[in-house]
Structure 1
Amino acid sequence: MKKSLSVAALAAAMFVCGSAANAEDTVKFWYHFDNADNPMADLVSRFEAKNPGIKIEAENIPWNSYYDNLYTSIIAGSAPDAAMVKMHAQPRLVEMGALEPLDDRIAAWDGASDIQENLFDLTKGPDGNQYYLPVQYVVLYLYYRADMFKELGLEPPKTCDDFRNAAIKLTRDTNGDGRKDVYGFGFRGGKGGHDHWGSMVLSREGASFDKGGLTNDAAVAGTQFVVDLFEKDKVFPPSAPNDGFKEVTGAFKAGTTAMTIHHIGSANDMVAALGDKVSATTVPECGGGRWTSFGDESTAVFSSASNKDAAWKWIAFLSSEGNNKEFNESTGQLPVTKSDSANWTLHPKRFVDATVASLPFAHMLPNRPETSDFVNTEWPVNMQRALTGEITAKEMNEKIEALFNH
């Protein structure tokens, strides 16, 4: 009887050990792709063939709930082993102790020298450590309907005044039914629209997220400029306070807006819909300067990962020559590797040129824990309230400034 119990106990122990080993060799990876052309299955297969001891479970999480799900999973102790992440989330993730430092792994990685020179500096953590491995990037610029501009004898706007004048002329009834069917600018009032607002506000001399930087006259005038474009000039579609990425880009492709702000990630879809009718230029100079967003995307290993080395191997694979090219051919953003960038032909030259021309005044949001709340709640909620007249431009700026300077 004792012998039988010992054998049973041994068998159970072997089962548990075997399960633990399998669990440690599985990397749970979260990512977000909007497009149907998703290369992840091919990349996973190639990686697993080269690393037979590691299995990748890649899950595509919807963007609108991505960070809500991520933060919840960390608190619940069920975080992924690795995931795609943006800079605005890094301070909070570091504060939560959720990220694994990657400095030593990057230093020992052969692929590090192939990453574009400035990307490690841009993605460095608030404490100076490297928690992120760049995987793609973009810089935002102004899309415009070249055919509509030509029809009306307009030039691409260089200043905010040019922009407003063009938007007013482009907002019109083109079919004679007495209703506007084209609006000058597709403004993104939902999540992610802070980039549109920033180009018209943070560009202004003295505007910043520091104390007094949003409540000074210049910054308030910037937000008022945005509100007036909607309320007085009526050059945004009526749906603008709630519009997100799909609505804004969809309206532009459908011809119901003549300008919008996004990046090279949407260029090929724009060309597929509009051909040579679409072009791009830098965002206009507003209030003495220019400001546009450096759009980052990186990957990270989480401190709770059961096998951090396996998770690192996977994210390093995604940022390596060839694999990074395939990854970004699907996402439509730019590769982080020098080798894949050298012969990049995915996008028409005019959009690459607009990206490069925008780099000198590209910025990132403050690398602070408050930035996540700004992006996900404070900005969209207060922008919507300002656009609908519930609060003033000054009150909106005061609320955002209070978030960063409490």
Structure 2
Amino acid sequence: MKLARTLGLASVLALSAGLAHADSTVRFWYHFDNADNPMDALITAFEEANPGITVEAENVPWNSYYDQLYTAIIGGNAPDAAMVKAFAQPRLVEMGALAPIDDWLASWDATAGLQDNLIDLVKGPDGNQYYLPVQYVVLYLYYRPDMFAELGLEVPTTCEEFREAAKALTRDTDGDGQTDVYGFGFRGSKGGHDHWASFVLGAEGVSLTEGLTSEAGVAGTQFVADLFQKDEVFPPSAPNDGFQEIIGAFKAGKTAMTIHHIGSANGMVEALGDNVSAAPVPECGGGRWTAFGDESTAVLSSAEDPVAAWKWISFLSSAGNNAKFNEATGQLPVVKADSESWTLHPQRFVQATVDSLPFAQMLPNSSETADFVNTIWPTAMQRVLTGDITAEEMNAEIAKLYGG
């Protein structure tokens, strides 16, 4: 029944492409923490360019956003369009709540101007396109170019180069016999799975759902363990370090490399000036893997005027408008031209993000992933780093969670 409904809706949308009603109202839900946001100005510009379409935008608090959205859908009072994240897509598709946008994308003259790989990253679980990217971040390697230059090191592009650089950068700089700079700030507590994944999931045939217990999968986790236990290139606090610790240590000059996204860039520059730069994470096991942070918009299947709703969300992902939208969020525009002229962050961090997009990935959209992120990974990683379990045992535990 849902498939028939989806196919029927797709046909209707294809026939009505470009034919918005003469007088339409698009109810749009979004979530911005910044109360001083550009939504009113964007709405004014859109309505001037699209006479007869009125946009009513509601800024819904993030901590209740999806509860309210699901409730509104079930109650028959859903908005016509909304901001959405990838983790919600499987449930929204199962509910029959989203309108496919494939035909609109195919005929939209701005599709080619979007950053490469974004459309594929947010493709629906059934192969249809429901999401239109509106902003994003990608994790990359932060490093200290001054320290690299001092030691005559090149920025690492492989795991082997990374290990050698991290060992060289781990040193006693004040001559008191104690290490005071470590090669890499590893996030060993909750949230650090993206660090681990960059060293493990790039290997051929290895993902959270397959290959983790293979020789290549175990070798990736062992590589991380060895960096801490044998090479001692992580601070001793690494098993318990979270976001604040890794960022604080890097800003303070206690680590020479770490991994995060552009959201930390301006704070890094404020602390370090030109002595901080960025590059894609190294290739490990024959490939690269880095985390993608998403935000998209979608047209709801219950929209009274789906064409008008599409016109609105595509307006938000168009050149110029998308830059204004992202000025309120601190994330990056999805339009190539807007990225090239972006000034909210230094361009070297924008470039590192764009360069990382071709191999950016998201974790599986499944209930198991919440357990992986919140409990299984942080507990197992801490136990590996402290020697309580082996790399093989850790990977087997994760594989079991995902049914392997």
Tell me, in whole angstroms, the C-alpha distance in 1 between the residues paired with 2:314 and 2:274.
Answer: 38
1:166–1:396 CA distance, 2 compared to 1 (3 A): same
Shift, 1:281, TM fit: 2.5
Which stretch of the first structure deviates more once superposed, 164-173 or 359-368? 359-368
Instruction: Kindly indicate whether the alpha-carbon contact (under 8 Å) linking 2:282 and 2:288 is maintained by their aligned counterparts in 1.
Output: yes
The match for 2:149 is 150
Tell me, in whole angstroms, the C-alpha distance in 1 between the residues paired with 2:294 and 2:318.
Answer: 17
The match for 2:38 is 42
For the pair 1:222 / 2:220, whether they are aligned, the reply is yes
Which stretch of the first structure deviates more once superposed, 374-383 or 129-138? 374-383
Tell me, in whole angstroms, the C-alpha distance in 2 between the residues paired with 1:118 and 1:96.
Answer: 26
Instruction: Kindly indicate whether the alpha-carbon contact (under 8 Å) linking 1:265 and 1:331 is maintained by their aligned counterparts in 2.
Output: no
Tell me, in whole angstroms, the C-alpha distance in 1 between the residues paired with 2:102 and 2:251.
Answer: 43
Instruction: Kindly indicate whether the alpha-carbon contact (under 8 Å) linking 2:188 and 2:238 is maintained by their aligned counterparts in 1.
Output: yes
Shift, 1:141, TM fit: 2.4
Instruction: Please report the RMSD computed on the Cα atoms of aligned residues, expressed in angstroms.
Output: 3.7
Q: Deviations over 1:170-202 (max 9, x none)?
A: 234444566544322112234543321122111
1:281–1:340 CA distance, 2 compared to 1 (3 A): closer
- Aligned 1:1-400 pairs, distance under 5 A: 27-31=28-32, 38=34, 41-47=37-43, 51=47, 53-59=54-60, 61=62, 69=64, 72-73=67-68, 81=79, 84-95=83-94, 97=96, 99-103=98-102, 112=111, 114-116=113-115, 118-175=117-174, 179-211=178-210, 213-300=211-298, 315-366=313-364, 370-400=368-398
Q: Deviations over 1:182-228 (max 9, x none)?
A: 322112234543321122111224423344x0001221121122123
Tell me, in whole angstroms, the C-alpha distance in 1 between the residues paired with 2:329 and 2:31.
Answer: 15
Which stretch of the first structure deviates more once superposed, 237-246 or 390-399? 237-246
Instruction: Kindly indicate whether the alpha-carbon contact (under 8 Å) linking 1:40 and 1:58 is maintained by their aligned counterparts in 2.
Output: no
Q: Deviations over 1:313-365 (max 9, x none)?
A: 65444323322112334544432224424534554444344345444444444
Instruction: Kindly indicate whether the alpha-carbon contact (under 8 Å) linking 2:339 and 2:350 is maintained by their aligned counterparts in 1.
Output: no
Shift, 1:144, TM fit: 0.8
Tell me, in whole angstroms, the C-alpha distance in 1 between the residues paired with 2:101 and 2:221.
Answer: 39
Which stretch of the first structure deviates more once superposed, 172-181 or 320-329? 172-181
Number of residue-to-residue matches in the alignment: 371
Shift, 1:135, TM fit: 0.9
- Unaligned 5+ segments in structure 1 are 1-23
Shift, 1:258, TM fit: 0.9
1:168–1:346 CA distance, 2 compared to 1 (3 A): same
1:239–1:74 CA distance, 2 compared to 1 (3 A): farther
Instruction: Kindly indicate whether the alpha-carbon contact (under 8 Å) linking 1:266 and 1:332 is maintained by their aligned counterparts in 2.
Output: no
Shift, 1:310, TM fit: 7.8
Instruction: Kindly indicate whether the alpha-carbon contact (under 8 Å) linking 1:189 and 1:244 is maintained by their aligned counterparts in 2.
Output: yes
Instruction: Kindly indicate whether the alpha-carbon contact (under 8 Å) linking 1:141 and 1:358 is maintained by their aligned counterparts in 2.
Output: yes
Shift, 1:230, TM fit: 2.8
Instruction: Kindly indicate whether the alpha-carbon contact (under 8 Å) linking 1:223 and 1:393 is maintained by their aligned counterparts in 2.
Output: yes
Amino acid at match of 1:57: E
Q: Deviations over 1:8-63 (max 9, x none)?
A: xxxxxxxxxxxxxxxx97644234x5xxxx475232354167559543231453xx
Instruction: Kindly indicate whether the alpha-carbon contact (under 8 Å) linking 1:324 and 1:340 is maintained by their aligned counterparts in 2.
Output: yes
Tell me, in whole angstroms, the C-alpha distance in 2 between the residues paired with 1:93 and 1:385.
Answer: 37
